[in-house]
Structure 1
Amino acid sequence: MTERVASLDLLRGLAAFSVAVPHFLMAAQLAPVAAETISILGVEVFFVLSGYVLAPQIITFLIDRPTGRNLMIFWLRRWMRTIPPYLIALVAASVLSPQLLTSDFLRYAFYVQNVTGQANTLDYFPIAWSLSVEEWFYILFPLACFGLVPILPEGQARPWIIGATFVAAITLFRTLAPATDHWGNDIRRVVLFRMDAIGYGFLLHLALERVRLRPFLAWLALIVTTLLALVLTQRLANVGTDHTIETAFPFYIGSLGAAAIAAFLTLDLQGRAAAAALFLGRISYSVYLFHFIALGPVLGLALPWPVSIAAFVAITAVIAILVSIAIETPVLAARPRYATSPTHRTYRAAKEPT
């Protein structure tokens, strides 16, 4: 029932390393502003991609067939996919900090450190903010589906209405939030104000079901949105506070994620290229989770910077591969499956993501 798309796995892997490598450069004080800009864009592409690949599963089992059993299977599948590696990475980071079993650790463990604002005293596992956004989307968007499906007519418009309502609600919450000089912590990395980024990916899936992608236009759109995002986001990193750009950020960054997905979908990867892309996709989550573990040891060696970067990437990849083999693969194999039948199985269900 699982069909991985090699080109999207390539995008997923590139996004993971576009976060990991800039974090290393920032820690080593090598082009920190440019590195921070790229890492921000990498995280945001992840958000839109998550919504896109989850859309078929959500539409088929939570909108077209909204049963309590399907809801529980959706949650179990998501939690089994995301939580075990996360907790291992969190424990490792907490032991190194050391912060194991502190109140900050417990907030990380339950994804509540940034629900309405930054609650932790010491943000020693900084990548967790985006994972909290993801986890709360997994909870709240299906509940929105269950709340809206009974009052909406059947048809192709129903997913659009649900997705647009969810995105509009989050956008409204963010718009009503008071202005702040600490936009990164108070807005950009807060669950309540950022779940719409994943919702954009859901809406993108609906849109691309109706549109035939033209490679030239898709890649042109990606180039334009990337340049725009780089310029605007780097200005934020340089200046620190620009309320106009901050207000525009969710929209131009969502456009970047959508353009990246559309462009990569036009790639027809075959043979070794497809295998390499699928490999990158499979280790991408662990690369994102565990790259901070490799930072300290590599920086402590005081190697020339090209060697340091290569060593960092290699160590991160090795850790990710080991976690993928030892933890992710057996847990994914044990996840419950949705009940399907010839009369209910759909194209959307056949593209259920891992």
Structure 2
Amino acid sequence: MTADGGASAVDVPAAPVNAANRFAHIDAMRALAVVIVLFQHSGLTFVPGDSGVVVFFTISGFIITSVLLRERERTGSFDVKRFYVRRLLKLGPPFVVAILLPTLVYACFRPVHWGAVASQVFFTYNWVQVFDGAASYEVLPGSNVVWSLAVEEQFYIAFALIWFGLLHTRRWHGALIALAVAAIAYSTVMRVVLCVRGDAEAHVLRGTDVRMDAIAWGVLTALAYRSWRAGGSRWLGTVSRDWVPVVAVVLFLAVSAVGSDQYEAIWRNAVIPLCSAAVIVYGLLPTGTRLQTAFHRFSCWKSVSFIGLASYSIYISHYVLLEPIVEVWDGPVVLRTVALTALGVAAGSLLYVVVERPVFAWRDRVGL
């Protein structure tokens, strides 16, 4: 049996899991991704926090597809209602505590654009950023990070409906691959087209249509891993070699180092999903080499696993706290970065323990 609960036709050890019974290396990737975002929002503006968001997108595509594939293998069906309820219980409570309630308090003292606030609640805020930039700033300071949640949820709504339609067809696997490849191609072409136009930077950086390729790469990764477990896709074994994560990290750093405007986004957003997918697969196919053993040991550290588990709460809550401080703190950069990163992690961790965990416990008790 594999760690994700599916039967495996390949005789290899299972990838390590953490205390939450999740793949440890994927939570470690989440932890590193959210720390990258925190570094930028702590005032290190040369750190491309967007690169961390792209990693999140790829992981999300992999996880959500793996969950749906596992459900199909186990039950032969797809419970759409349960899928959306679980998404709501995952995202909703931390959002209410970290974004919505503070927005209501903030609105007592400063004007807000209630249409933009509504778009945050209903996961369309990224399009407000694209088409009404002025309104997108009339929200709770620091709450603009929810643009990435909007991208993910728009993709998931469409993906779940597509999956429901394909589930019982004979060629669902090939159709899903074709759709994911089409999404990647469309996003890539659209980024180029919009950049050539020269007047659509917000669209390049925030539009779902040009950011969905990272999630689609995660979908393809999950499909390839499923095929490999069943004895197919033998080529995937190449990704277990030690040079793969080394090249992935070098490429990630290289494309992240050159900036975050729309032109760098053309190829940065094309390369980082591949790097992320490669590291996901590398961790899933244990070989026992020294490098992979060290990678898995690092991933299993309690602190790393915890930050990965709490990464959503950290991400959604940190900037509301950090942005006002960054604007007034003119102290040493290193001290500010360390202090504010620690503050962001601490606040998000508290939100995770006080809000997310109890909701998860209740969800499991009622069988959702």
TM-score (norm 2): 0.75
Amino acid at match of 1:85: P
- Output the aligned Cα RMSD: 3.4
* Distance (whole Å) between structure 1 residues aligned to residue 163 and residue 71 of structure 2: 10
Matching residue within 80, 97, 105 for 1:71: 80
Does the 8 Å CA contact 1:160/1:203 hold for their aligned counterparts?
A: yes
2:158 counterpart residue number = 140
Q: How does 1:208-223 map to 2 (within 5 A)?
A: 208-209=225-226, 210=228, 211-212=236-237, 213-223=239-249
Structure 2 residue runs without a partner (length 5+): 6-19, 229-235, 285-291
2:222 counterpart residue number = 205
2:289 counterpart residue number = none
- Structure 1 pair 227/151, CA: closer, same or farther in 2 (3 Å)? same
1:317 counterpart residue number = 345
Amino acid at match of 1:23: H
Amino acid at match of 2:124: V
Identical-residue share of aligned pairs (%):
24
Between 190-199 and 41-50, the greater mean CA deviation after superposition: 190-199
1:129 maps to 2:147:
yes
| CA drift at 1:219 | 1.9
1:12 counterpart residue number = 30
* Distance (whole Å) between structure 1 residues aligned to residue 177 and residue 198 of structure 2: 35
Amino acid at match of 2:318: H
1:110 maps to 2:119:
no
Does the 8 Å CA contact 2:180/2:216 hold for their aligned counterparts?
A: yes
1:91 counterpart residue number = 100
* Distance (whole Å) between structure 2 residues aligned to residue 128 and residue 108 of structure 1: 7
Between 2-11 and 137-146, the greater mean CA deviation after superposition: 2-11
SS at match of 1:195: helix
Structure 1 residue runs without a partner (length 5+): 27-31, 341-354
| CA drift at 1:246 | 4.6
| CA drift at 1:45 | 0.8
Does the 8 Å CA contact 1:225/1:255 hold for their aligned counterparts?
A: no
SS at match of 1:3: coil
Matching residue within 291, 296, 299 for 1:269: 296
- Structure 1 pair 273/200, CA: closer, same or farther in 2 (3 Å)? closer
| CA drift at 1:215 | 4.1
Amino acid at match of 2:92: I
SS at match of 1:290: helix
Aligned length: 323
The structure, 1 or 2, with the larger RCO (C-alpha pairs under 8 Å, 6+ apart) is 1
| CA drift at 1:169 | 5.6
| CA drift at 1:298 | 6.1
1:253 counterpart residue number = 272
2:310 counterpart residue number = 283
1:196 maps to 2:213:
yes
- Structure 1 pair 177/60, CA: closer, same or farther in 2 (3 Å)? farther
Amino acid at match of 1:277: V
Does the 8 Å CA contact 2:180/2:220 hold for their aligned counterparts?
A: yes
* Distance (whole Å) between structure 2 residues aligned to residue 96 and residue 322 of structure 1: 21
Cα deviation code 1:283-310 (max 9, x no counterpart): 2112111111222246545543333222
SS at match of 2:125: coil
2:60 counterpart residue number = 50
Between 47-56 and 216-225, the greater mean CA deviation after superposition: 216-225
Cα deviation code 1:79-126 (max 9, x no counterpart): 211122123222255344745672221111111122483445133422
* Distance (whole Å) between structure 2 residues aligned to residue 162 and residue 64 of structure 1: 24
* Distance (whole Å) between structure 1 residues aligned to residue 127 and residue 329 of structure 2: 37
